[in-house]
Amino acid sequence: MNEMSRDIVERAALVAEPGAAGAEVRPGFLARAWDVVTISPVGTVGASIILFWVLCAIFAPWIAPYPPNKIDPGLLAYPYPTWQNWLGVDHLGRDIFSRLVWGARTVLTVAPIAVLGAAVLGTFLGLLAGFRGGWVDAVIMRVGDTLLAFPKIILYLIIIARFGASAFNIIAVITFTSAPIIARIVRAVTLDVRNREYVAAARLRGESTLYIMLYEILPNVRGPLTVDFFLRLGYTTIAIGVLGFLGIGLPPPDPDWGGMIKETYGMIFVWPHMTIIPSIAISSLVIGFNFLAAGLREAKLDA
């Protein structure tokens, strides 16, 4: 190792320990994340809304007073909220509260898996494109542009026509249509940090490309990715609701908030609660994710 190489390694050691992405990024990340629910009022509200629905999903068998698909036409004589049916019943006499609670399981399972899959795929592609550059960057970005050119609804219609409606297909569509956007975020950060001294030091130590991407560059991306993750959960919740409303979402009879709206929107002027209540459920969860993302920004977690 020549004099210049030693100098680069020594200066890089002052910036970051080996395997870290820089002293300015690593310390205080978890502490700032905790600040979201202890200091930021917006973040606290968002976290509380999400926690409510998470608890409903986890304890659905014990919270729901009735089976979600139990039909009782006799209740249609008075379908509005009562002591027996807290949120009323739908057009088939099914308890709306029970279906909302069980439906939370669907949303809070499909949405996080889909977004997590998109985050993993998009992060890897963004790191690879930004770090390697050249034709690798060009190919990844052009393929991403091609996928972004297809509206999610049309792409899902193509897939459902071939493979049928299922939770797996929804996850696949959301994963592959969201990954290019995440890849662009990660690529932009990677281009900014790939020539910094601690990355140069890792190269001089002979570290592999995969090591440098995962241990030197990736920690710089975790803040923006965390904020984007929760925002994207809100977008995905809306997408799942839209697919259910269009009748191409999760197959019945499992409760689906979008499907609940579709089944009853024709009676909105007669029994409006049947449509409004599941709409409020979708809106509240989206608001919760957006508020939590805003709280993360207030804690400067995306810095």
Q: What is the pLDDT of residues 18-65, one digit of tens each?
A: 344 343 444 455 566 666 666 778 888 999 999 999 999 999 999 999
Q: What is the pLDDT of residues 111-144, one digit of tens each?
A: 999 999 999 999 999 999 988 888 888 999 998 8
Percent of the chain with pLDDT over 70: 85
The residues, any chain, with a CB within 8 Å of residue 275's CB and separated by 6 or more, are: 261, 264, 265, 267, 268
Domain that holds residue 170: 3-66+81-298
Residue 12 has pLDDT above 60, yes or no: no
In a domain, 75, yes or no: no
Total residue count of the chain as it appears in this document: 303
Q: What is the pLDDT of residues 287-299, one digit of tens each?
A: 999 999 888 887 6
Q: What is the CATH number of the domain that holds 283?
A: 1.10.3720.10
Cα torsion for 231, 234, 236, 242, to the nearest 10°? -140
Return the amino acid letter for 205: R
What is the C-alpha to C-alpha distance for residues 29 and 267, in angstroms, rounded to an integer? 49
What is the number of structural domains in the chain? 1
122-126, 135-139, 228-232, 243-247: least confidently modelled range: 243-247
Q: Which two tokens stand for residue 113?
A: 């898996």
User: Average of pLDDT values for 91-99?
Assistant: 91
Directed axis angle between helix 152-163 and helix 222-245, to 10°?
A: 60
What pLDDT, on the 0 to 100 scale, is given for residue 22?
Answer: 40
In a domain, 243, yes or no: yes
In a domain, 155, yes or no: yes
pTM of the model: 0.82
In a domain, 270, yes or no: yes
Vertex 164, ends 142 and 114: CA angle to 5°?
50
What is the C-alpha to C-alpha distance for residues 282 and 263, in angstroms, rounded to an integer? 15
In a domain, 223, yes or no: yes
Return the amino acid letter for 152: K
In a domain, 278, yes or no: yes
Confidence at 226, pLDDT banded by 50, 70, 90:
confident
Directed axis angle between helix 222-245 and helix 96-132, to 10°?
A: 130
In a domain, 54, yes or no: yes
Query: Could you tell me if 131 and 217 are in contact, meaning their C-beta atoms sit under 8 angstroms apart?
Result: yes
